[in-house]
Amino acid sequence: MAPFTNEAGSEQRFDVNLSILFTELPLLERPAAAAAAGFTAVELWWPWIETPTPPRAELDALKKALDDAGTRLVGLNFYAGRLPGPDRGALSLPGEESDRFRANIDVAADFAASVGCKALNALYGNRIDGVDTETQDALALENLVLAARAAGRIGATLLIEALNRPESPHYPLVSAEAAIGVVDRVNEATGLGNAAFLLDIYHLSMNGLDAEALTEVIDTYADRTGHVQIADNPGRGAPGTGTLPLQDLLDRLRKAGYEGWVGLEYKPGDRPSAESFEWLPPDARSARQG
């Protein structure tokens, strides 16, 4: 695999998603493993899939692991059910799951504040048979407003993500336009302006967008984008394992004005995660450049 040599070079800020990479290790060992691979920034899906409100000791242990490794948490999901798995989000699901999301809001925001994390991702819930979509959307907006206010309280951005229909057929946000529509509704409802688009290049490509269409999304929504995630396609592997022109697309993002984090959210394949970064020069892995 050729090294990553896009124009952004060491200016691009990459972080590692510790919920898909380094999962061969226990959670508390992953920050140190990412640091050993040269990274100073990481992100996480909500690590406690069974509970939105883990014991304080577990939250403190994760904070200590991040601090001891010298890694900065730059992105965190709110509670979203079982990820990875068939569940996708909880905030638009009536009943117990919505209640669990609400119970998680301040817990997640307070933990993010304790480690300096400024981006919180709130996944919409799957559509449910027998429940009116307008009912789910109204509940989603209500809960997203609560989440945006909690994020605003700690000076953070609330992220809204589009997934892909082949892998998440019941998830309603499967285009940039759909996610941006939710962003707009949340910002209008709160007046805070802190909701933004999470642009996941892999998910958008799985929805059938080719390089030209992805470039159009970037040009249209770069100024509304609060975070970016990448994986190659097909296969959701590291850059260079598929056919996506990730180098060119990230160059385009920089030219369009995006200066935020790019999360590495790919599968390492049948090898240790530490061996899946040969595409990225060591001097491009550190966040020291800003």
pLDDT digits (tens, 9 = 90+) for 224-248: 999 999 999 999 999 999 999 999 9
Alpha-carbon distances of 154 from 7, 65, 150, 194, 216, rounded to whole Å: 34, 22, 7, 11, 33
Q: Is the pLDDT of residue 282 over 80?
A: yes
Token code pair at residue 221: 């929504």
HSE-CB at 105 with a 13 A cutoff on CA atoms is 21
Q: Would you kindly state where each structural domain of the chain is located, as residue ranges?
A: 9-289
Q: Which of 142, 177, 265, 275 is catalytic?
A: 265
- The residues that bridge with 153 in the sheet, in sequence order, are none
Average pLDDT over residues 66-81: 97
List CB contacts of 203: < 8 A, sequence separation 6 or more: 161, 162, 163, 164, 174
Give dist(CA 120, CA 229) in Å, integer. 14
pLDDT at residue number 287: 59
CATH number of 9-289: 3.20.20.150
Q: Which has more pLDDT, 283 or 131?
A: 131
Q: Residue 141: which of 167, 172, 166, 96 has the closest Cα?
A: 172
Q: Which of 58, 161, 212, 259 is catalytic?
A: 161
Q: Is the pLDDT of residue 6 over 50?
A: no
What single string gives the DSSP state of each residue in 54-111?
Answer: --HHHHHHHHHHHHHHTPEEEEEEPP-SSTTTT---STTSTTHHHHHHHHHHHHHHHH
Average pLDDT for the chain: 93
Residue 96 bears catalytic tag? no
Q: Which has more pLDDT, 117 or 84?
A: 117
Length reported for the chain: 290
Give dist(CA 1, CA 4) in Å, integer. 9
pLDDT at residue number 9: 45
Q: Is the pLDDT of residue 97 over 50?
A: yes
HSE-CB at 181 with a 13 A cutoff on CA atoms is 11
